[in-house]
Amino acid sequence: MIPVCISATQNAYYKQLFRSKHVTVFGDLLLRRRIVQHNFKWKRATHSKYEIEEGARGLPVVHHSKYVCDLPPNHRFPMRKFPKVLNFLLKDQIITDKQVCIPEPVSQEALCRVHTEEYVENFITGKTSQKEQKRTGFVWSKGIVHRCLYETGGTLLAAEIALQRGLASSTAGGTHHAFPSFGAGYCLLNDLAVAAKQWMDSSHPKRKILIVDLDVHQGDGTAYIFRDEPGVFTFSVHCGKNFPVQKQQSDLDISIDEGMMDKDYLNTVETHLPWVLESFRPDVVLYDAGVDPHREDELGKLGLTDEGLYQRDMYVIDAVVRRGIPIATVIGGGYSRDIDRLALRHTIVHRAAVKVWETRGL
């Protein structure tokens, strides 16, 4: 057992940040100076119909060819990265094709647990206004609808597999700017929220879900959706002077300065994540491993390197797995005109996940 020392000053800091719903739940833990990590046993999902393909022994990776759709020429959103992520993983022999799991599109019922029925209906049928479409960054099309349905289904499946095997990764996901009644910032359906709601409500007692969002932009939609939900904890480390201008209140927001580099960024994550894991004690973790904190990202404003991102992902995934908590990863944001370089960067989280999978003997 490895002790994690939490100072009285740090406890006071957290107590000031957390809303009362969490302070009440964690009141006894806030007074503890020393929190001890435990070696938990895996809790396998007994209700799942998912079966691993025979011969597949490594990290399950969720992917669908319909993660992409056509966009106008020179559109800023790097749609073509999604198939390239899988191609790099296969080409570099990080995974084999037997490890690839194909999701179904998310159901309208699952979407309506998070989004309003009116928004879901308007989005699927193309009745959103031009103003609403402008806010998302996309002009409505059947292709964009299908892409979002499969992407959200992919995050649902990754979480389901993680509940069985401890760890799974999608090659898409992380659309954390979508709110219950509107989309924003290239996010039309909030896949993280849909997955959290699905796997929280599908068990008795309800599972506790931790969403670790390390995309450079705050997950404002996710924070808003679960603002009054004690069973979901939202933890965001993001660049304060970046989109969205108007932030929401996550359960724990860590706003960092422009230009922060590897060492300080990793120290920030390592300072806060253990406390959250030991205090909230989630049953499942959803991890948004956005690569837009990278120094070359067009929308990032931070200074991380490829190695910094790898160390970040290794730390987060291993910190969760060694506590016996299932974790599903999504790739989050990343923006570059060089699609090959960007797609390769998005595979960092899968490479880290494979390393943890092998090290921990999953």
CA 157 to each of CA 41, 56, 195: distance values in angstroms, whole numbers, following the listed order: 22, 16, 9
Query: What local confidence, expressed as pLDDT, does residue 30 receive?
Result: 34
Query: What local confidence, expressed as pLDDT, does residue 17 receive?
Result: 53
Other beta carbons within 10 angstroms of residue 58's beta carbon come to 15
Query: What local confidence, expressed as pLDDT, does residue 84 receive?
Result: 97
Distance CA 334, CA 293 (A): 8
What residues contact 22, with CB distance under 8 A and at least 6 apart? 230, 233, 251, 280
Report, as ranges of residue numbers, the positions in the chain whose pLDDT lies below 70.
1-56
Whole-prediction pTM: 0.87
Under a CB-based contact definition with an 8 Å cutoff, are residues 216 and 296 in contact? no
Query: What local confidence, expressed as pLDDT, does residue 15 receive?
Result: 53
Domain 57-360 has CATH 3.40.800.20: yes
Instruction: List the one residue out of 1, 31, 137, 26 whose CA is nearest residue 78.
Output: 137
Query: What local confidence, expressed as pLDDT, does residue 245 receive?
Result: 86
